[in-house]
Amino acid sequence: MTMLDLDREATAVTHIGEEDLPALARGCAVLGTGGGGSVDTGLLLAGRAVRECGEVPLVQLADLEDDAVVVPLSGIGAPTVSHEMVASSDDVLRLRDEVERVMDRPVAAVMSSEIGGSNGVAPVAWAARLGVPLVDADGMGRAFPEVQMVSMYVAGLPVNAVVLSDVVGNVSTLRPIDGLWSERLARALCVASGAHALMADYILLASEARGAVIEGSVSRALGIGRCTVGATDPLASLIAELGARNLISGKIVDIDRRTGGGFVRGSVVLEGVGDDRGRLLRLEIQNENLLALEDGKVLASVPDLITVVDTQTGGAISTESLRYGQRVTVLAWPCDPLWRTPRGLDVAGPKAFGYDIDYVPVEEISGAHA
């Protein structure tokens, strides 16, 4: 073991306390690529739950018994709705009871379905309420808008059940034949519930999760969130931490944003300032930022991460919080290698969202334009 390994082991996060939540929220906002819900909501839920129930153990998959039930949790629906329609603390209790009935064994741990946005922060609240640990992993390494866009689907795991709990008190259990049907059925129920619900999907045994999820993502979010604290130049610190490309710095001059079908869709236009004066960049969104285009040319696309941040603070701005006149910078950086496999691109590449373009890694695009 090297000295670097020893340092990492000594500083490894083993619990999430209230003091860790602001950094986690900042990191999840960046990884959310505009989606996953506003971290403000998740931060409020997690802060209250930790104060009332205690800090949450953060565990590795290797720490769990092979037959331990791991429940990936997320809020499903339009971020514009979830920011206003906050889930009840009872939602996760009802969902837990149904999962244990379906699996015929107790829930051992909670995992975030997506580490991005509120869906990366709220699992701390859900784990605290259930009195179980949080797994240092997720199913995306970022945020994506559709249910099947998770690493478990890419890995070919079968969908055993999808369980939804809404603010009204309804609990629904689905037995879809595959991930695509998980999206269709869960989205329909979500819309019927007012465009937001709490969801457990791809309920796993720890032995199944190993190799099928993206490990270390909670620790990664914490590292991203902490990198700008006290920094002289927060934006530069964030770019260095992410290994990101600065696509443009400018101001928002046009927003076309609409909510429907359980999604936020639209586009945002930025006009460059300073060294980027005279440039226009357009972002295409479906909950998350999907494409960045300039003069019809793609500068970055899913599955790579595209995030809008405040130019002064480096704080990420979700798609539902973008406003005319904001001074922002658009960053893009490489996704987890899983998403660059043929199967990963089929699931969450540009063509999966209806764009008739071939995926090119962001570092290759920026190299070609250098």
Q: What is the 3-state secondary structure (H, E, C) of 1-46?
A: CCHHHHHHHHCCCCEECHHHHHHHHHHHHHHCCCCCCCHHHHHHHH
The count of domains in the chain is: 2
pLDDT of residue 320: 85
Identify whether 5 is part of a domain: no
Closest CA to 212 of 311, 138, 285: 138
CA pair distance 368, 136, nearest whole angstrom:
36
- Asked whether residue 215 falls in the same domain as residue 236, the answer is no
pLDDT value of position 35: 87
Q: Do 145 and 235 lie in a common domain?
A: no
Q: Tokens for 172, please give them.
A: 């629904």
**pLDDT, tens digit, 9 for 90 and up, residues 121-164:** 999 999 999 999 999 999 999 999 899 999 999 999 998 899 99
**What are the tens digits of pLDDT across the range 303-343?**
999 999 999 999 999 988 899 999 999 999 999 999 999 99
Given a cut of 50, whether residue 235 has pLDDT beyond it is yes
Rounded Cα gap, residues 328 and 341, in angstroms: 32
Same domain, 289 and 332: yes
pLDDT score recorded for residue 154: 97
CA 305 – CA 350 distance, rounded (Å): 12
d(CA 333, CA 305): 5
Checking if the pLDDT of 118 tops 70, the result is yes
**243 — phi, psi (to 5°)?**
65, 40
Pair 84, 135 in one domain? yes
Q: Are residues 347 and 214 in the same domain?
A: no
Round to whole Å and give the CA distance between 351 and 343.
12
Q: Token pair for residue 76?
A: 């499903």
d(CA 228, CA 234): 5
pLDDT at 84 over 70: no
pLDDT given at position 36: 83
Separation of alpha carbons 172 and 169, rounded Å: 10
What pLDDT, on the 0 to 100 scale, is given for residue 165?
94
pLDDT of 87 over the 70 cut: no
Same domain, yes or no: 259 and 134? no
- The Cα–Cα gap between 235 and 212 comes to 33
Tens digit of pLDDT for each residue in 3-31? 334 344 445 789 999 999 999 999 999 99
pLDDT at 342: 98
Position 1 in a domain: no
Residue 326 DSSP SS3 = coil
Is residue 2 situated within a structural domain?
A: no
> Domain of 159: which CATH number?
3.40.1610.10
Span 40-50, average pLDDT: 94
Phi, psi of 238 (to 5 degrees): -65, -45
The average confidence (pLDDT) of the chain is: 91
Residue written as tokens 């079908």?
A: 261
As a dihedral over the C-alpha atoms of residue 30, residue 206, residue 43, residue 162, rounded to 10 degrees, the angle is: 90
Tens of pLDDT, residue by residue over 236-279, are 999 999 999 999 999 999 999 887 776 778 999 999 999 999 99
Note the pLDDT of residue 196: 84
Query: Which structure tokens are listed for 152?
Result: 């478990």
Give the integer Cα–Cα distance in Å for 2 and 313.
35
Beta bridge partners of 252: 270
pLDDT of 270 reads 97
Q: Are 267 and 326 in contact (CB under 8 A)?
A: no
Does the pLDDT at position 85 exceed 60?
no
Query: Distance between CA 368 and CA 353 in Å, rounded?
Result: 25
Note the pLDDT of residue 370.
Answer: 42
